[in-house]
Amino acid sequence: MSLRTLSSLGDLAGKRVIVRCDLNVPLKDGVITDDGRVRASLPTLNTLINAGARVVVCSHLGRPEGAPDERYSLAPVAQRLSELLGKPVAFARDTVGESAASAVEGLQDGDVAVIENLRFNPGETSKIDAEREEFAGRLAAFADAMVSDGFGVVHRKQASVYELAEALPSAAGLLIQKELEVLDRLTENPERPYAVVLGGSKVSDKLGVIDHLLPRVNSLLIGGGMLFTFLKAQGYPVGASLLEEDQLDTVRGYIAKAAELGVELVLPTDVLVADRFAADAAFEAVSADAIESTPAGAAGIGLDIGPDTAARFAEIIRASKTVFWNGPMGVFEFPNFANGTRVVAEALTEVDGLSVVGGGDSAAAVRQLGFADDAFGHISTGGGASLEFLEGKKLPGLEVLGWA
């Protein structure tokens, strides 16, 4: 079975269509600090508007506890959406109450309404099937068809993602379609050479991805906090760097498996070691096998890959035809330790082929470092969802749309 797309819904003129978007944007004092997710929802919404549909947009925002909470209102998002669409957007003060009913009632062909944060209702994320079904049924009453376009939530079995898609004729929107096309190219017949670059904080977060991708890649490059578990697994001292003792055996297994499969496992040869975990810590670049012999000694903390390693990673990345990168190379939040991440990001922008950035912090890092979104082949909007996809897991929000 394959993914049902918008065309499967037929002529939508005059039809009410409820669209599950992921408009979970970061807010600071009620102001949107990154509207990337609102922008990412535009292609589908414009397509529906142009088709003459009456569009009801729904999403979650943050983690309210199943009850209304002004801090997580979608009101600023509805406002931003109206600016980006260049047309008025009605906003309902509740999810399935009177305000939502009257907003939907008032829609003309090509109009858009946003209903309030889905997680203001406990049914959205309930663990009890009947409660999710009940909430989804009330959402379904607002529409004749459902479009699922919140890629960031397709790994969740939640009312608006799963049960709502079951309750109405449903299809994937353009954002989900695009994400899947790209992620599929990372798992099925990738163009070679294929390099995967992993970093971030913990190996234990990335085990599934390593398991699933190791047999598929030509090179696996390891940076970030997880590199120290790899160094330790090879018998090197790592000072006070991030270390997951309980993953040492697993990591040794990966080292052996890479050798067996002929995969080039590229570990850092130098590291920036700091005397403490702080933006203004003193630091120096040291050989990866000599972290404990630095002046900071056993107390030294590795906070970034070193310049030689960054240059080598960049070379491998630039020579690849397919690159997937997840996880910052160092503590990029501190400018002194952002170099590895910057060099890797820069190299990704120079790939003659497909370059993909996945992961919430990785996407935030490249934006913070000033890279434009379109400098990369693709920046995945769904951190957790894209990783679960790459782990080879079945995602409920995709299965319900016919994906298998």
Residues binding Mg ion (CB under 5 A): 360-361
Q: Which residue is nearest to Mg ion (CB)?
A: 361
| Piece of 3-11, 42-50, 310-318, 320-328 that binds ligand ADP (CB under 6 A) | 320-328
| Piece of 131-139, 281-289, 358-366, 369-377 that binds ligand ADP (CB under 6 A) | 358-366
Note whether 384 binds ligand ADP by CB under 6 A.
no
Cα 314 from chain centroid (whole Å):
23
Note whether 331 binds ligand ADP by CB under 6 A.
yes
- Please confirm whether the linkage preceding 88 is cis (ω < 30° from 0): no
User: How far apart are CB 199 and ligand ADP at their closest, in Å?
Assistant: 6
| Piece of 56-64, 69-77, 119-127, 193-201 that binds ligand ADP (CB under 6 A) | 193-201
The tokens of 350 are what? 């120079």
28 is catalytic: no
161-164 — which CB contacts under 8 Å span 24+ positions? 161/20, 161/396, 161/397, 161/400, 162/132, 162/136, 162/396, 162/397, 162/400, 163/132, 163/133, 163/135, 163/136, 163/137, 164/18, 164/20, 164/136, 164/139, 164/140
Note whether 117 binds ligand ADP by CB under 6 A.
no
Show Cβ contacts of residue 224 under 8 Å, excluding neighbours closer than 6 positions: 198, 199, 200, 201, 327, 328, 329, 330
Closer to ligand ADP by Cβ: residue 159 or 210: 210
Note whether 225 binds ligand ADP by CB under 6 A.
yes
Closer to Mg ion by Cβ: residue 163 or 361: 361
User: How far apart are CB 381 and ligand ADP at their closest, in Å?
Assistant: 13
Which one of the listed residues 52, 97, 384, 402 is annotated catalytic?
A: 384
Give the N- to C-terminal CA distance of the chain in Å, as an integer.
Answer: 6
| Rounded CA separation 161/223 (Å) | 34
384 is catalytic: yes
Closer to ligand ADP by Cβ: residue 142 or 230: 230
| DSSP SS3 for 271 | strand
Asked if 60 and 117 touch (Cβ cutoff 8 Å), the reply is yes
| Piece of 31-39, 54-62, 99-107, 354-362 that binds ligand ADP (CB under 6 A) | 354-362
| Rounded CA separation 109/107 (Å) | 7
221 HSE (CA, 13 A, CB side):
28
User: How far apart are CB 360 and Mg ion at their closest, in Å?
Assistant: 5
Which one of the listed residues 37, 54, 157, 232 is annotated catalytic?
A: 37
User: How far apart are CB 223 and Mg ion at their closest, in Å?
Assistant: 15
Nearest to 75 by CA among 18, 131, 10, 120: 120
User: How far apart are CB 227 and ligand ADP at their closest, in Å?
Assistant: 7
User: How far apart are CB 362 and Mg ion at their closest, in Å?
Assistant: 8
| Rounded CA separation 267/112 (Å) | 51
37 is catalytic: yes
Q: β-pairing, 27-28 with 31-32? A: antiparallel
- The CA-CA-CA angle for residues 334, 288, 326, to 5°, reads 50
Residue 137 binding: pick among ligand ADP, Mg ion, none (C-beta 5-8 Å cut-off by kind): none
Note whether 383 binds ligand ADP by CB under 6 A.
yes
Which one of the listed residues 39, 93, 202, 257 is annotated catalytic?
A: 202
Asked if 401 and 148 touch (Cβ cutoff 8 Å), the reply is yes
Q: β-pairing, 112-114 with 90-91? A: parallel
Note whether 360 binds ligand ADP by CB under 6 A.
yes
Cα 317 from chain centroid (whole Å):
21
Asked if 301 and 240 touch (Cβ cutoff 8 Å), the reply is yes
Please state, as a whole number, how many other Cβ atoms lie within 10 Å of the Cβ of residue 9.
21
Closer to Mg ion by Cβ: residue 97 or 360: 360
86 is catalytic: no
User: How far apart are CB 229 and ligand ADP at their closest, in Å?
Assistant: 11
User: How far apart are CB 17 and ligand ADP at their closest, in Å?
Assistant: 32
One symbol per residue from 279 to 318: x for binding ligand ADP (CB under 6 A), - otherwise; what is it? -----------------------xx---------------
Closer to ligand ADP by Cβ: residue 93 or 202: 202
Q: Which amino acid is at 239?
A: G
| Piece of 22-30, 40-48, 200-208, 284-292 that binds ligand ADP (CB under 6 A) | 200-208
Q: Catalogue the active-site residues.
A: 37, 202, 360, 384
Residues engaged in binding ligand ADP (CB under 6 A): 199-201, 205, 224-225, 242, 302-303, 326-328, 330-331, 333, 359-362, 383
